[in-house]
Amino acid sequence: MNIAVLGTGHVGGALGCRWAAVGHSVFFGARDPAGAEVRAVLARAGGGARAGSCREAIAACDTVLLAIPWDQTHAVLERAESLDGKLLIDCINPLTPDLQDLTLGYKTSAAEQIAAWFPTARVVKAFNTLSAATMENPRYGDLAAHVFICGDDPSAKETVHQLARELGFEPIECGPLRLARQLEPLAMLYVYLAVFQGWGGDCAFRMLKR
Amino acid sequence: MNIAVLGTGHVGGALGCRWAAVGHSVFFGARDPAGAEVRAVLARAGGGARAGSCREAIAACDTVLLAIPWDQTHAVLERAESLDGKLLIDCINPLTPDLQDLTLGYKTSAAEQIAAWFPTARVVKAFNTLSAATMENPRYGDLAAHVFICGDDPSAKETVHQLARELGFEPIECGPLRLARQLEPLAMLYVYLAVFQGWGGDCAFRMLKR
């Protein structure tokens, strides 16, 4: 699969390099594709990965991971040649700078906002409740972290389930895109526990089942 | 400890009977204390448990579990002789009748609303993300379900942590009462998965840690 990974920070770097490692063709999109951060990520990702502008990455791929700050998201996507039919995987949490609230409030969500801006794209919310450490390694002893996935396009969601399984996660189907209104608060709870209650990044939500 | 359990449905019945089983003095509060549901719960709870009106139960106890429907909560608490200093454990989820949204929205929470109505009480949010089946039995193989707990009174929260541990749960400290804005959406996600995605009641959230 050709996967554009927009953003080469902890999140884009972790998921992009791991998808490259399992054989996907990863095209990192960045503001400065020749910069040190991108070069380091390309070195980790190995020979199959490329980098360019976000516009170039989107044009080259049918699947696009959004791993950029929320306040850049609209501008970056607006510059794309076309988003028609593209699978946009949204793992963004639009947190306030103090990490204590959601900038969009709770009556919508980043995922729904992106879908409203770009109605010809197929938006799936996923990976937003995970730390970068868990993205690097989803195993917790015998158990794997759960990835909570919602969206309105069944085939797009199935692709994301598969991309999650390939990295060792267990996906949980969470229904339509409006469930992002629960998944973004879940990320806030995660951030609160990780940052303010001392759990750190080596923790992850799982649904126990018997 | 003297614990008033308001409500004798699945939630009040499960937690009340289990607290009675570990030695607490449980006073069930109900609209019809002589009715069949209350008699059945008292039979399960054993000799130490009593039942009466909610007003009587509150008056007799320093700790009060709210396991009644959200739309009755204000009226029931308003009829109390006094709530000064009482520990109110709020496990209520103010869901819409279709179970798809929160009646209070997301800019406040049931827990914060109760604290605003009755500022002399000590409100703690807890147990709201658990099914009745998990309340009956928190074990999932080698792991226990997590109880997410928030509130503004540290000693009240510590009591709830202890009450959770006594039943075999592992408590997670989630900070101030406003975190109920994350815990109520977490319950919505739980209900969505349990009811609409087929997970059923024998599942529970846990934070994995390594």
Cα end-to-end span (Å), chain B: 35
Asked if residue B203 belongs to a domain, the reply is no
Backbone angles phi, psi at A52, to 5 degrees: -165, -165
- Output the pLDDT for position A89: 98
Q: What pLDDT is attached to residue A99?
A: 84
Over range B88-95, report the average pLDDT: 94
Show the 3-state SS of A71-100: HHHHHHHHCCCCCCCCEEEECCCCECCCCC
Q: Read off the CATH number of the domain in which B103 is found.
A: 3.40.50.720
Count interface pairs A-B at CB distance under 8 A.
Answer: 105
Q: Quick check: is B96 in a domain?
A: yes
Quick one: pLDDT band at residue A61, thresholds 50, 70, 90?
very high
The dihedral built from the CA positions of residue B131, B136, B142 and B148, taken in this order, carries a sign that is: positive
CA A8, CA A14: separation in Å to the nearest integer? 8
Domain count within chain B: 1
CB-based contact, B197 to chain A, within 8 Å? yes
Closest-CA distance, B197 to chain A, in angstroms, reads 7
Contact predicate B168/B138, CB 8 Å: yes
Task: Look at residue B158 in the predicted model and tell me its pLDDT.
Answer: 98
pLDDT of residue B106: 67
Model confidence band, residue A106 (pLDDT cutoffs 50, 70, 90):
low
pLDDT in tens, B122-175: 999 999 999 999 999 999 999 999 999 999 999 999 999 999 999 999 999 999
Residue bearing the bigger pLDDT, B106 or B75: B75
Task: Find, among A60, A67, A106, the residue nearest to A86 by Cα.
Answer: A60
Residue B47 within a domain: yes
> pLDDT confidence of B38, banded at 50, 70, 90?
very high
At A101, the pLDDT band (50, 70, 90 cuts) reads confident
> Kind of pairing, strands B143-144 and B139-140?
antiparallel
Residues in a beta bridge with A5 = A28, A65
Q: What is the ipTM of this complex?
A: 0.92
The pLDDT confidence band at residue B100, using thresholds 50, 70 and 90, is confident
Q: A202 in contact with B at a CB cutoff of 8 Å? A: yes
Is residue B202 included in any domain, yes or no?
A: no
Which residue of B lies nearest to A141 if distances are taken between CA atoms? B210
Stated length of chain B? 210
Chain B residues within an 8 Å CB radius of A181? 106, 185
- Whether residue B196 lies within 8 A of chain A, CB to CB, comes out as yes
pLDDT in tens, B52-87: 999 999 999 999 999 999 999 999 999 999 999 999
Bridge partners of A3, per DSSP, are A26, A63
DSSP one-letter code for B120: T
Chain A residues 10-29 within an 8 A CB cutoff of chain B? none
B182 in contact with A at a CB cutoff of 8 Å?
yes
Q: Do the Cβ atoms of B48 and B77 come closer than 8 Å?
A: no
Average pLDDT value for chain B: 96
Query: Is B53 part of a structural domain of the chain?
Result: yes
Q: Which residues pair with B139 in a beta bridge?
A: B144
How near does any CA of chain B get to the CA of A142, in Å? 11
B205 within domain boundaries: no
Instruction: Pick B182's closest partner by Cβ from A188, A197, A210.
Output: A188
> B95: which 2 tokens?
């869901």
Domain that residue B97 falls in:
2-196
Q: What is the pLDDT of residue B47?
A: 83
Q: What is the pLDDT of residues A161-179, one digit of tens each?
A: 999 999 999 999 999 999 9
Angstroms from A27 CA to nearest CA on chain B: 32
Q: Does A195 touch chain B (CB under 8 A)?
A: no
Nearest CA in chain B to A207: B205
Give the span between the Cα atoms of B93 and B102, in whole angstroms: 8
Interchain contact B118–A (C-beta under 8 A) = no
**Are residues A182 and B188, on separate chains, in Cβ contact within 8 Å?**
yes
Could you tell me which chain B residue has the CA closest to the CA of A200? Answer: B209
Q: Given CB atoms, is A35 within the 8 Å cutoff of chain B?
A: no
Any chain B CB within 8 A of the CB of A84?
A: no
Cα A200 from chain centre: 20
Tell me the pLDDT band of A108, cut-offs 50, 70 and 90: confident
Q: At B103, is the pLDDT very low, low, confident or very high (cuts 50, 70, 90)?
A: confident
Structure letter (DSSP) for residue B92: -
pTM of the full structure: 0.94
Position A10 scores a pLDDT of: 95
